[in-house]
Structure 1
Amino acid sequence: MPLHVPPAPAPALRSVLTALGSPTAVRDARTPALQSVQGPLSPELPLPVYVLNRPTTAGGAPRTMLTGWRFLIRSGDRAVAAADTMLTPDGWAFSRFFEGPYLTATERALRQAETLQKGYQPRLLAVPDLYMLTLWLHENTDAEPAEGSPAPADLLVPLAPAPPGFAAHRPHRVSELLPVIGLRLAPSAPLMGTPA
């Protein structure tokens, strides 16, 4: 089924278009693909980027925070880089261009998600303490993309490179994966005789 990609806020898109139109921003991007590509570049597939603030191990609602929007930068029919925007006190602003494994992993996960029998709204969910990024497939396709928390029936797809113990590109229900993440992030209990 097709994914229901939400539109990005107009200021976020404008900030990326302005950065793409700036020879200084592209030259200083430190992404070889952007520096060497010939022809027009276009920002596509805007994905809201959330950070998991508090995972749960026992059924409580996870806390997430919208931190930005990520656009895949296309040249022709392929993504050559990504652009991030961030929320500032003055609104959405361009943050950075980048390329690397998460770019190709995101494209792969989006292609996999399009083959699912159900429609989803794609988002990204980062777990900074585990150096983990997931494609979050939100089952409410009409949801406001700047709001919400992962619902138990939503899917999370860890992107490669995934941390040890998590299979990259394997979809998991939120109700199954978030408790595991919570356990991995929980402080371990001190051993007897060990100072706390």
Structure 2
Amino acid sequence: MPLHVSQAPAPALRSVLVALGSTAVREAHTPALRSVQGPMSPELPLPVHVLDVRDHAVPPAGTPRTRLVGWRFMIRGGEGPVAAADTRLTPDGWTFSHFFEGPYLASTERALRQAETMTTPFQPRLLSVPDLYMLTLWLHSDPEADPATGSPTPADLLVPLAPAPPGIAAHMPYRVADLLPVLNLRLAPPPLLESTA
């Protein structure tokens, strides 16, 4: 298998296990999670990074900056994933954030299956572009890298998850050098109109 899934920090995993055994499951806005009969387990931990392609500290041709904002676990119950659980880093360490379901759950599963068929080894991560309401599977080309650090490199691939913004094909692997200019263009401030008065 070419995907090298990283180990999440132990406190992040523990926080999800505690949440699965607590009232958080019954209080979650995730009908699928609440309807599971039997055991549930957190699997496929993915580091979640945020990308700001408008970072003015980085020249347009430079490497974009990312920052780790959490770890996402697929919650498996019965035959497949029924929800996801996010954790976040606080001053006291890793803590459970929330459960959720929705289109990104199936989309992430599909993108991971696609990536497993590739011949190049990758480290899977999630890369969020909040200003475009966009989430991608980030296939980092260094499978042994620290999953909490780094930025997209030219050898990395980005796979937009569905629903993707208009004009960007979901589930199509893009080279970083091909997708980042598109994102930069979409996030660029509109040009100022000159006054004709």
**Stretches of 4+ moved more than 2 A in 1?**
53-58
Q: Secondary structure at the match of 1:54?
A: coil
SS in 2 for 1:67: strand
CA RMSD of aligned residues (A): 1.5
Name the amino acid aligned to 1:165: G
SS at match of 2:83: strand
Q: Which residue of 2 aligns with 1:7?
A: 7
* TM-score, L = length of structure 1: 0.95
Task: Name the counterpart of 2:52.
Answer: 53
Question: Mapping of 1:1-196 within 5 angstroms?
Answer: 1-22=1-22, 24-55=23-54, 58-193=60-195
Given that 2:36 and 2:78 are in contact with CA atoms closer than 8 Å, whether structure 1 keeps it comes out as no
- Amino acid aligned to 2:18: T
Measured after TM superposition, the shift of residue 57 of structure 1 is 7.7
DSSP-derived class of the 1:37 partner: coil
Deviations 1:150-173 (A, max 9, x none): 101100000000011110000000
Residue identity in the other structure for 1:99 = E
Amino acid at match of 1:43: P
Change (3 A) 1:161 1:6: same
- Mark the CA change 1:194 to 1:12 in structure 2 (over 3 Å): closer, same or farther: farther
Q: Report the identity percentage.
A: 72
* Kept after mapping to 2: 8 A contact 1:57/1:178: no
Q: Is the 8 A contact 1:45 1:71 kept in 2?
A: yes
CA distance in 2 between counterparts of 1:36 and 1:46 reads 23
Give 1:114 deviation, angstroms: 0.3
Q: How far apart are residue 77 of structure 1 and its match?
A: 3.1
8 Å contact 1:129–1:185 — kept in the other structure? yes
Aligned residues: 194
Cα gap change, 1:194 to 1:29, in 2 (>3 Å) = farther
Name structure 1 gaps, 5 residues minimum: none
8 Å Cα contact 1:57-1:183 kept in structure 2: no
- Three-state SS of the structure 2 residue aligned to 1:49 is strand
